Structure 1
Amino acid sequence: MSHHGVGPRAVMRSVAFLTAGVLAAPLLTACGEEDPAGRPAAGPDIAPAARDRIADGGTLRWAVDAVPETFNTFQADADPTSARVANAVLPSMYRLDAGGRPQVDTDYLESAKIVEREPRQVVLYKLHQEAVWSDGREIGAADFVAQWRALAGKDSAYWTARNAGYERIEKVERGGNDLEVRVTFARPYADWKSLFSPLYPKQVTGTPDAFNDGARKKLNVTAGPFAVKDIDRKGGKITLTRNPRWWGRQAKLSELVLRAVPRDKRAEALAKGEVDIAEIDSSQAQRVMLAGKEAQGPEGSASPRGSAAPQGSPDVRGAGQGLGGPLAGAGGTLAQGPGAALTPAQSLRSWAIAHGSDEKAADKEAGARKKRRAALAEYTAQQSALRGYEVRRSLEPAFTQLALNGADGPLADERVRRAVARALDRKELAGLVLKPLGLPVVPVGSHLALSGQAAYADSSGALGGQDTDEARALLADAGWEEGGPIRETEKAAGAEGEKTAGSKEEKSEKKTEQKSEKKSDDEADKKPEKKTEKKTGDEDTYVVGDDNKPYETDDDSPLARDGSQNAPGAYAPRGTRAPGDAARAPLAKNGKPLTLRFVLPSGPGTESLRTVGERIAVMLEQVGIRTEISKVADDSYFKDHIANGQYDLALYSWPTSAFPATDARPIYAKPVPAADGSLSVEQNYTRVGTNQVDQLFDQAISTLDESETRSLIRKADARIWAAAGSIPLYQRPQLYAVRPHLANAGAFGFQTPVYEDMGFLKEGTTASESPARN
C-alpha cells in the first residue's frame, strides 16, 4: 500500500524440522508486556513546521512518474500519481499516522464505529457537517451507496480492479439524518476501515459509463483542500489549486504542480530548478549529499544558499560513511562523475594515444577526451546546482524479499527452500542497501506488516536465522550431496555398465575417449575464470558457484558500478582465492547439480538489487548451492519472469497495508487448479501456500475483535515463514531531494501527507525541530 493514502492498494501483489511448539508459541502479549509491533524503524522526515511559520501562497513543483491514464483509483491502470491526486482532492474516511495505523480523518468524519454486531455488523458514519463537494452538494449517503454498488462486484459492467470488502456489504442507507450513513454487512468484515477511501462523488460511481470513463481523464467534482485546475497531458503536468469550497484549514500553497519527470532524469531536473521535490534513488541521493558536502567549508560549516535550511537537516558529512567508491576520499565531484572510473594508468594511456604518432588513433582518442571533458563540465555544473537541495530519508511502507519459486524443480522441496533461507545473513543484506544511506539496518520480521504497524511481530523465529550447518543438513536430508558435475556422474554410470557389457575393443575405445575427456575437463578446471557469461535475448546470464575458483570484480557488476567493492561481503579483487571453508563443493542428486536460476533486473535504479543478489549468490555457494544469475530487462522482469514463474530465485518488493487480512491474502493464498487446467495463483508468484494459512486469513477477516485479528495475522505470518516461499530482507529506503525551506513534505514513511500544511517557510524562519535522523 502506498503511503499516499489508505485507499489504493497494490494490484500486483508438514515441515520435517519444524516442531509444533514453534508455531504454537503464544503470539499475544500478556498484560504489561511490550507490544511486539514496536515503533517504526524510521519515522517521517518532512521538516515539520507550524502553520504560522509557513508563507501564504507559492507554487510547489513535485516530480511524478507520469500523468496518469486514469484518476479513478479503483481501475486496473491506476498508478501512484492517481493516488496522489485523489489524496489531495477527494475525501478519505481514514488516513494513516506515522506508525502506519488508520485514524479517522476529522475533516470528513465526526466519528465512525460499529454500532451493532448481531445479527449483522452495522457501521455508523457521522459526517462533518460542513463537508460538501466542489459543486456545493453535501457529501452524503447517496455517494456511499453509489460507490458500494460500483465496487460490489455484482455488476460486470463496472470495470473495477478490486472490490475487497465491498462485496460483504448487504446495504448502505441514510441514518437518522442527512449527516449519518449506515452500512450493514452481510458477513462480518474486520477491515471495514479500509472502505470509502477515497470516496468519489455519485457523478463518478453512479453508472457504469460514468465509472468507466467519467474520471479517467478529468475530475470535475472534488472535495479536498485542492481541486484540479488543469491537466496538460502533452506538457506532462497536472495543476492543483486551492479549493474555494474547502471547509478545513486553507491550503498554504496556492498551487501544487505535479510534473512528469522520468526517474533517471530527476537529478538533471533538480539541477535545472524545474522541480522543488522529487523522489530519487540511492545513486541520485548520493549525488545530492555529495553536493551538500562540497558546499561546506574546511571546518564543515555550510556555505550560504540563499534560504534558511530547516533545523535537523541531514548531516551530509556522515551520510556517505561506509559507502566506499563514489563518496569516499576527498576527490570532490571528480570522485563519481564522468571519467571517475578511469584509473591513473588509463588516463595516462589516453593522453599518450591522443598525442601519439598514430594520427587516426590520436584523432579518435582526442574526440573521446573532448566528450569526457564536456560531460564532466555538465556534471560539475549540475553538482553546483544540487547544493540547493537536501535529502530527506525514511523507509517506505514496502519491503524487498527473496522469492523462491516452489512450483517445480529443487525448490518444490520445502527442505531446500528452508536451506536457502538458513544460508542467508539477512542483516548483512539489509546493511548493503541501508547502511550507506544512514538508515537503520533492521531486517524485516514479518510478511504482513512492518515495524510500528498494529499487526507487526517478528515471526522469523518460525524459520530460524542464518545457520550454515543446519542448511547443509537440510540439503543432505533432501538427498543433495557433494558430488561432481553431471558429466562425471554420467561417466561413472557408464563405467559401471562396462563391467558387464561390451567387447574389449569397445572398452578400449571408451577408455581412450574418457581419458581425452578427463584431460579436457582437467584443463578447464585449471582456468582461473569463475563465471561464464552468455546472452540470451534480453538476458545476461552467468553461473556463480564453481568450487575453489577465484573471485573477481566484473566491470559490469553492480558491485563495480556503485562503488561498493569495500562493502561487507563484496567480491575480492581478481585472482583472490576463496577462504578454505568459504565455499562447498557443488551438490548433486541423481546426477544433476543443484543449480538455481536467479533472475535480477538490469535497468537503471536497480543497482542495489543486483548488489544484494550477487551477495546472496555467494552466501548460497557457501552451502553448496550454485546460482545461474540472469539479468533481464526491466519491462519483462515481472510480467515475463515473476508472474509467469520463469525463475527459481528473484528479488522484488511488496507494499504493506494497514489491512493485511484483506490485502495480503491473495499474495499468500494457496494456488488452486483453475477450470481450464492451469494453476490459479492470484498474486502468489512463489506458488507456495497452505490450507492453514488460508484458514487463518479467513478467520482474521471475519473477526471484529481487533486484538484477535492481530493474533490471527501473526499466526498466519509464522506459518508463511515456516513454508519458506519468500524471505523478507529489508524495508525499502525512501529518499526525497527537497528544497531546504520546504516544510511538511519529504519522506513521509507510513504517514499520509497533509497537503494543506505543506509550504515554504517565511523568510528568516526555520522549521520546528525535526525528528532525529539516522
Structure 2
Amino acid sequence: MHVLKRTAALAATAVLSVTLAACGTAGSTGGEVNAQSLAGQVAYNPQPYDNIRDGGTLTTSLPEITPQFNTWQSDGATAYGAEVWSWYNPNLITFTADGQAVFDPDYLTDVKQETVDGNTRVTYTINPKAAYNDGTPIDWTSFDAVWKASRGTDPAYIVGSTDGYDRIRSLTPGANSRQVVVTFNGINLWWQALFGSLLNPAALSPAVFNQGYINNPHPEWGAGPYTVSKFDQQNGTITFERNPKWWGRRGKLDSRIFIAMEDSAAINAFKNGQIDAVSADSKDRLAQVAGQPGTEIRKSASLQIDFFTLNGTTPVLSDIRVRKAVFEAIDRAEIVKVQLQGLGYTADPVGSMNLLPFQEGYHDDFGQVVRFDPEQAKKDLDAAGWTVGPDGVRVKDGRPLEFSYVSTGDDPIGKAIAGATAAMMKNVGIKLDIRQVPSSDFSKIIAGKQFDMFYAGEQAGSPYGIAFICQLYCSDTQFIKSGVNDPKNDALVRSVNTLPTAQEQFARASEAEVAAFRTFGVMPAVNLPDIQAVKTGLANYGPGRYFSTTPENIGWQN
C-alpha cells in the first residue's frame, strides 16, 4: 500500500513520506500507546546547523522514482514525488514539530499578514539574491505561476489541489518585483499552507506543466542548496550534490541519493549498510532491524491516513448500492488488527480523511454513514438485483459480482490486508480478484485508474488538513480517484474555508464530509504511527509529527 500527498506546501520532509503509501504498523513501545500519546513524541534527532558535520552521503530508498517530477501536477502529487522535488526546488515554508510555520530567510526576508477591508492580505518580501539555476530571478512571477496553474480557472492545468489558491482575489507585485502581495476573498485562516514551494515561470504553459517534467527533473528550473547531479531512469536512482549557484547556507551533506526498491529489498539494503534509513512499519520488519549495531528506532505520530478507494466509474461499482454494500462488508477493526498485530499500539478505525484523530476538530464522520454490517450488505445487494449463485458468488443478468483489488509491492502487511478484504467480500457473495503489481507501477495504476478497489494512504504535508478539504471531496478533484464525488456537495465543501473561525470551519467540514461519505467512494481505515530504523547520528531526520526542514539542515551529527 502506498501514499498520495494532499498539500502543495512542500518541504524537505524528515520522513520518507509515501503520498499513496505502503501499509504501516507500530513497533513495540514498552507498553500500549495510541495516536494521542504518540503525537506528543518526536524522534528526528533535532540538532542545530553547527552540530552537523560537513560531508557525507545520505542514501535511502523509495518504492518508485515518480515519473512525473512536477509535484504541482496531479500525477506528481505522491509522497515519493514530493520527497524528490524538495531536494532541488525552493522550500519557502517548513514546520516545527508542533505545527508552527517557519519561513526560510534564504528565500523570504519578510512575511507580513494583515486583514484589510475584511480580507486576508499577505505580503512576501523575497531575498534579492534568490534565483533559479537557469539564472531567472525568483520574484513575484513565480508566485503568479503557482496561482495561475493552481487556481482552478483553466482546466488545461491538471493540478493536485486548487484549495486556497481558488480564493485569491489578486496577486500583484509590491514595492518592486521582489515583493508580492496576495489578497484573498475574505478571511483565510490557513494561508501558511500555500506557496510552500514555487514554480519556475518557464514551466507555466499547460503543455510543459503537464508533460514537460515526465522522466525529466529539469534541474535548471530548480533552486536550493542541492541540485540533480545524476538521474538514472533505467536503474531507478537520482543523486543530488551541492548546488554551486546556491546563495544561502551551504548544505551539510556532500550528496543525497534515492534508490527505487521494493520493501523487502530496502530492509535488506539497510541491514547490509547500503542505505541509511528504512521504514520499520511492521512487526517482522521491526524485528529485522531492532538491536542492529549502530541503529536507532525512531517513532512518532504520522500524518497518514490509510483508506480504501472504489472506482465508481467501472460498470459493477457504478451502482451506489453495491459500493455501500462493499463498505458495510468491511470490518475496519479487523483491518486495523492486521496492521497492528502483536505490537504495542492501539488505534480505533479512523473516522475522517480530513483531520487526524489527535487534531482539534476531529470527528468520526464515517461512523455516521457506514457501520460494519454484513447482513445489511447482503440486503443491499439483494435489492440491487444481485442473487447468490450456486458457488456462493452473486450474479445479475448472467454476470458474476466480481471486481479487482490492486495490491502494490511485496510488503506482507499489504498482502494480508488484500487477503482479509477478499474474505470479507466472499462472506457477502462478492468475488474479489487480487492483482499483485510491483511498487514501480504505483503511479501508473493511480494516474490511469487501473483498479476497481485500492488500499493506500493519503499524507498531509502541513498541519492544516482542513485547508485542503476540496482536494478530497469536490467533484472535480484530481486527487481522489473514485469518480463519484457529487457536484451537489461542491457548494457545501467549498464553503468550509470561507468561515471566519476555526470552530465554525470544523463543524461545517464535518457536515461536508458526512455528505461526501454518502457517495461511498472512499473509506478511511486507520492513522498509523511512523516508525523508522535510522543509522545512529543522522540528524534532523525521522518521525517528528509536523516537523519538516530544508535540505541543508539534514546530515550527520558531529
TM range (shorter): 0.7 to 0.9
1:125 aligned counterpart, secondary structure: strand
Q: Residues 128, 686 of structure 1: CA spacing in aligned structure 2 closer, same or farther, 3 A cutoff?
A: same
Matched with 2:26 is none
User: In the alignment, does 2:415 pair up with 1:610?
Assistant: yes
Letter in structure 2 aligned against 1:412: D
- Out of 350, 358, 372, the position equivalent to 1:444 is 350
626 and 114 in structure 1: CA distance in 2 versus 1, 3 angstrom threshold:
farther
Q: How does 1:416-455 map to 2 (within 5 A)?
A: 421=327, 424-436=330-342, 438-453=344-359
Which residue does 2:428 correspond to in 1?
625
> Aligned partners of 1:204, 1:723: CA distance in 2, in Å?
36
**Which SS does the other structure have where 2:402 is aligned?**
strand
Q: Write out per-residue CA displacement over residues 53-86 of structure 1, whole angstroms, 9 at most, x where no aligned residue.
A: 4333322223334555454333455364542243
Give the corresponding residue for 2:404. 599
Q: Is the 8 A contact 2:470 2:477 kept in 1?
A: no
Cα gap change, 1:706 to 1:391, in 2 (>3 Å): same
Rate the CA distance shift 1:599–1:650 in 2: closer, same or farther, 3 A.
farther
Deviation at 1:630, TM superposition (A): 0.7
Aligned letter for 1:433?
Q
Matched AA of 1:696 = L
Residue 23 of structure 1 is matched in structure 2 by none
Q: Secondary structure at the match of 1:451?
A: coil
Residues 626-676 of structure 1 show CA distances to partners (whole Å, capped at 9, x for unaligned) of: 2312111427899779976974x6534334465656644354345xxxxxx
Contact 1:735 1:747 in 2 (8 A): yes
- The 1:702–1:687 alpha-carbon spacing in structure 2 relative to 1, beyond 3 Å, is same
SS at match of 2:181: strand
1:448 Cα offset (Å) = 1.6
- How many angstroms apart in 2 are the aligned matches of 1:484 and 1:171? 57
CA 1:67–1:403 in structure 2 vs 1: closer, same or farther (change >3 Å)?
A: closer
For 2:94, the equivalent position in structure 1 comes to: 95
Separation of aligned partners in 1, 2:363 and 2:49: 36
Residue 87 (structure 2) pairs with residue 180 (structure 1): no
Cα drift, residue 162 of structure 1:
4.9
Q: Secondary structure at the match of 1:144?
A: helix
The CA RMSD over aligned residues, in Å, is 4.8
The TM-score normalised by the length of structure 1 is: 0.56
How far apart in 1 are the matches of 2:101 and 2:333? 32
Spell out, residue by residue over 1:466-516, the C-alpha distance to the aligned partner (whole angstroms, 9 max, x if none): 5x5xx53675588569x99546xxxxxxxxxxxxxxxxxxxxxxxxxxxxx
d(CA) in 2 for partners of 1:211, 1:620: 38
The structure 2 residue matched to 1:756, chosen from 544, 552, 558, is 552
Structure 1 residue ranges without an equivalent (≥5): 14-36, 296-304, 310-388, 488-542, 547-585, 671-679, 763-774
Q: Counterpart in 2 of 1:397?
A: 303
Structure 2 contact 402–432 (Cα < 8 Å) conserved: yes
The residue matched to 2:269 in structure 1 has which SS? helix
Q: Is the 8 A contact 2:8 2:195 kept in 1?
A: no
> What is the CA-CA distance between 1:699 and the residue it aligns to?
0.7
Provide TM-score, normalisation by structure 2: 0.74
Q: Distance in 2 between matches of 1:716 and 1:687?
A: 17
Secondary structure of 1:198's aligned partner: coil
Give the one of 65, 68, 72 matched to 2:70.
72
Percent of aligned positions that are identical: 21
- The correspondence of residues 371-382 of structure 1 with structure 2, limited to 5 A, is none
TM-superposed deviation, 1:625 = 1.4
Is 1:266 paired with 2:266? yes
User: Bigger shift: 712-721 or 126-135?
Assistant: 126-135
2:61 corresponds to 1:60? no
- The answer for the alignment partner of 2:46 in structure 1 is 48
Give the corresponding residue for 1:239.
240
Structure 2 residue 1 is the aligned partner of structure 1 residue 6:
no
Per-residue CA deviations over 1:445-471 (Å, capped at 9, x if unaligned) read: 2022223445533324413655x5xx5
Q: Map 1:388-537 to 2 at 5 A.
A: 389-394=295-300, 396-404=302-310, 412=319, 414=321, 421=327, 424-436=330-342, 438-453=344-359, 456-463=362-369, 465-466=371-372, 468=373, 472=375, 475-476=378-379, 485-486=388-389
Alignment of 1:214-233 (within 5 A): 216-220=216-220, 222-231=222-231
Deviation at 1:433, TM superposition (A): 0.7
8 A contact 1:252–1:757 mirrored in 2 = yes
Give 1:116's aligned amino acid: V
Alignment of 1:660-739 (within 5 A): 663-665=468-470, 667-669=472-474, 685-690=481-486, 693-703=489-499, 705-732=501-528, 734-739=530-535
For 1:48, give the aligned amino acid: P
Would the aligned equivalents of 1:486 and 1:591 in 2 still touch at CA under 8 Å?
no
Check whether the contact 2:132–2:220 (CA below 8 A) recurs between aligned residues: no
Q: What does 1:249-288 align with in structure 2 at a 5 Å threshold?
A: 250-279=250-279, 282=282, 286-287=284-285
**Structure 2: which 5+ residue stretches go unaligned?**
12-16, 22-34
Aligned partners of 1:4 and 1:83 also within 8 Å: no
* Cα separation, partners in 2 of 1:747 and 1:175, compared to 1, 3 Å: same
Provide closer, same or farther for how the CA distance between residues 256 and 603 of structure 1 changes in structure 2, counting only shifts above 3 A: closer
Judged with a 3 Å threshold, the aligned counterparts in structure 2 of structure 1 residues 198 and 39 are, in CA distance, closer, same or farther, namely farther
Contact preservation (8 Å) 1:41, 1:451:
no
| 2-structure distance, mates of 1:93, 1:136 | 19
Residue range with higher mean Cα deviation, 203-212 or 71-80: 203-212
Can you list the C-alpha shifts for 1:680-708, whole angstroms capped at 9, x where unaligned?
A: 88555445444563222121244454443
Correspondence for 2:287 among 286, 289, 314: 289
| Separation in structure 1 between the aligned mates of residue 339 and residue 37 of structure 2, nearest angstrom | 21
How far apart are residue 103 of structure 1 and its match? 1.7
Whether the 8 Å CA contact 2:44–2:541 is kept in 1: the answer is yes
Compared with structure 1, are the counterparts of its residues 179 and 231 closer, same or farther at alpha carbon in structure 2 (3 Å cutoff)? Answer: same
Structure 2 match to 1:551: none
Q: Could you tell me which residue of structure 2 aligns to residue 124 of structure 1? A: 123
- Tell me the secondary structure at the aligned position of residue 695 of structure 1: helix
**1:137-156 maps to which residues of 2 (within 5 A)?**
139-149=138-148, 151=150
Instruction: Give the Cα–Cα distance (whole angstroms) in 2 for the partners of residues 219 and 267 of structure 1.
Output: 30
Quote the residue 1:326 is aligned against.
none
Cα distance in 1 for residues equivalent to 2:171 and 2:446:
43
Structure 1 residues 681 and 210, CA gap change in structure 2 (3 angstroms): closer
Aligned residues: 526
Instruction: Give the number of the structure whose alpha-carbon radius of gyration is greater.
Output: 1
TM-aligned CA deviation for residue 429 of structure 1: 2.0
Q: Secondary structure at the match of 1:275?
A: coil
Q: By percentage of residues, which structure has more helix? A: 1
